[in-house]
Amino acid sequence: MINKIIYSIIVPVYNEELVINESYKRLKEVMDTIKENYEIIFINDGSKDSTREKIDAICKNDENIRLVNFSRNFGHQAAITAGMDVAKGDAIVVIDADLQDPPEVILKMIKKWKEGYEVVYGKRAKREGESLFKKITAKTFYRLLKSMTSVDIPVDTGDFRLIDRKVCEALKSLPEKNRYVRGLVSWVGYKQTAVEFVRHERFAGETKYPLKKMLKLAFDGITSFSYKPLTITSYVGGMIFGFGLIGLMFETTKSIINHQSLLNLGLLLTTNLMMFGLIFLSFGIMGQYIGRIFDESKNRPMYIIDSNINYRKVEQKYEISV
């Protein structure tokens, strides 16, 4: 087979009209220096702005660019998964569109890949231009997740990484729906290494990860890789029950000695409130897991593709065996 695609660059995009042209330009500049075949696959995750039209225009002029349009917003992790499903390259790179992950780092990743590493992840040595809230919550989350799971998920790494075709196939064979891709990459194993980089400020526009989406991702990460929250509540429940029992015995003995009524309203109300809180908390945690079990059992596809631009062209250009 000649003319094979060596590199697939996956770029998930959601309402990125302000950055898309610059992002394309920088990625093309970097990839053109390599002198090996590549494709850049934009996964348009249901953008409501002119992102789609902008990428359409790019596709018309450049056959190495592909565009997959989702029928609606399915989320960042679904977009990455779709990219891996359609990618043809031997090495697959996932990068955000907003240039926070500098495209130049891809060259360093490729170097490591050529040395024999099968996963090269980008480790954020420093984060620039992000709110203190985001920095603190991200840092705490990565460490919390690490302390909860037996899978060695590296801290301070996002989805910016290069994976070998082998790793991509392994990931494709995992059927779960609420995906925490960076965790799954650690889970599948293979020879992994890191390259450090400084995470810059967004080129333009604002984050497409509001608190709600961040929390969803955090819970996906925790629930897919740890049972601890489920078990912790039973320990805490047991402890509270123990305290309650001791308190009850103490109060009863005291009341009997002092010839008082056994009913103490204040004590009753506060302990009840505490217990209710605890019960609801445990239900909530169970709900997080059960909701995900429900998702898996429905077995719906992770995303729906509306159209696939330049797919045939790229196929014809590179995939015909001679």
Give me the residues that bind ligand UDP (CB under 6 A), please.
12-14, 16, 45, 73, 75-76, 79, 96-98, 100, 207-209
Q: Which CB atom, from 49 or from 63, has the smaller least distance to ligand UDP? A: 49
Q: Which does 109 bind (CB under 5 to 8 A by kind): ligand UDP, Mg ion, none?
A: none
If the CB atoms of residues 56 and 159 are measured against Mg ion, the closer one turns out to be 159
Query: CA 122, 124, 125, 129 torsion: positive or negative?
Result: positive
Query: CB of 141: closest distance to ligand UDP in angstroms?
Result: 12
Question: Interface with Mg ion by CB under 5 A: which range of 52-60, 96-104, 120-128, 273-281?
Answer: 96-104
Q: Are 110 and 85 in contact (CB under 8 A)?
A: no
Residue appearing with tokens 């080129």: 203
Per CB under 5 A, does 15 bind Mg ion? Answer: no
Minimum CB–partner distance for residue 130 and Mg ion (Å): 8
Name the segment binding Mg ion (CB under 5 A); options: 44-52, 98-106, 137-145, 221-229: 98-106
Q: Which residues of 57-66 are buried (b: 16+ CB within 10 A; e: fewer)?
A: ebbeeeebbb
80 binds, among ligand UDP, Mg ion, none (CB under 5 to 8 A by kind): none
Spatial separation of the C-alpha atoms in residues 103 and 88, rounded to whole Å? 20
98 binds Mg ion (CB under 5 A): yes
Beta carbon of residue 207, minimum distance to Mg ion (angstroms, whole number): 6
CA dist., res. 286 & res. 258, Å (int): 44
Q: Quick count: other Cβ atoms within 10 Å of Cβ 204?
A: 14
Q: Which does 38 bind (CB under 5 to 8 A by kind): ligand UDP, Mg ion, none?
A: none
Using the rule CB under 5 A, which residue among 100, 192, 223, 310 binds Mg ion? 100
| Binding partner at 52 among Mg ion, ligand UDP, none, C-beta below 5 to 8 Å by kind | none
12 binds, among Mg ion, ligand UDP, none (CB under 5 to 8 A by kind): ligand UDP
- Min dist CB 202 to Mg ion, Å, is 6
Quote the strand ranges of the chain, DSSP E.
7-13, 38-44, 65-70, 91-94, 119-127, 157-164, 192-199, 305-309
Pick from ligand UDP, Mg ion, none: which does 10 bind, CB < 5 to 8 A by kind?
Answer: none
| Nearest alpha carbon to residue 158 among 210, 204, 215, 217 | 217
Query: CB of 317: closest distance to ligand UDP in angstroms?
Result: 26
Q: What whole-number distance in Å separates Cα of residue 98 and Cα of residue 18? A: 9
Task: Determine if residue 259 is left, alpha or beta; phi over 0 gives left, psi from -120 to 50 gives alpha, anything else beta.
Answer: left
Which CB atom, from 39 or from 101, has the smaller least distance to ligand UDP?
A: 101
Residue 73, binding choice from Mg ion, ligand UDP, none, Cβ under 5 to 8 Å by partner class:
ligand UDP
Q: How does DSSP assign 94-144, residue by residue?
A: E--TTSSS-TTHHHHHHHHHHTT-SEEEEEEEEE-S--HHHHHHHHHHHHH
Judged by DSSP in three states, 72 sits in: coil
Q: Cβ closer to Mg ion: 138 or 185? A: 138
Binding site for Mg ion (CB under 5 A): 96, 98, 100
